[in-house]
Amino acid sequence: MTLTPYQIVAPLIALIAIMYAWNLVMRQKKTVWEACFWTIFWGAIAAIAMFPPFLTYLSTVTGIANRENAVIFTFLGVLFFIVFYMIIRLEELEQRHAKIVREMALKDAGLETKGKEG
């Protein structure tokens, strides 16, 4: 069996993405649930890259007519995860913004936040 460049690059990218997700968990920026979901997704991408005949089996089981459709659905999945990531980042930024505004309002009102008194 000869490996194509895609069969080498795709699993490497998947491994980097999985390591990045777990790194975020260790830094407490993402939950274990999100990292597990990310691991399953990128593990599936790597498995499909390494074992392309799996797509034939998958198309038979799911009823997808051919491999091209399976690839399209895969890319739709990638786009879904990109949007999912952007939504999570947006929520984090909104929470930070609310915290900063709250602290500024308390400071302007002459009240100090707990833990900042010294």
Domain enclosing residue 50, as ranges: 5-86
Residue at 114 is within a domain: no
What integer pLDDT is reported at residue 118 of this predicted model? 45
pLDDT tens digit at each of 118 positions of the chain: 688 888 899 999 999 999 999 999 999 988 898 898 889 889 988 988 898 888 777 777 777 777 777 777 777 877 887 888 888 889 999 999 999 999 999 998 888 766 555 4
Residue at 23 is within a domain: yes
Only one residue has tokens 């913004």, namely 97
Model pTM? 0.57
Residue at 95 is within a domain: no
Provide the domain count of the chain: 1
Q: Give yes or no for a contact between 27 and 19, defined as CB atoms under 8 angstroms apart.
A: no
Residue at 112 is within a domain: no
Residue at 94 is within a domain: no
Residue at 69 is within a domain: yes
Distance CA 52, CA 71 (A): 11
Residue at 43 is within a domain: yes
What integer pLDDT is reported at residue 82 of this predicted model? 80
Residue at 109 is within a domain: no
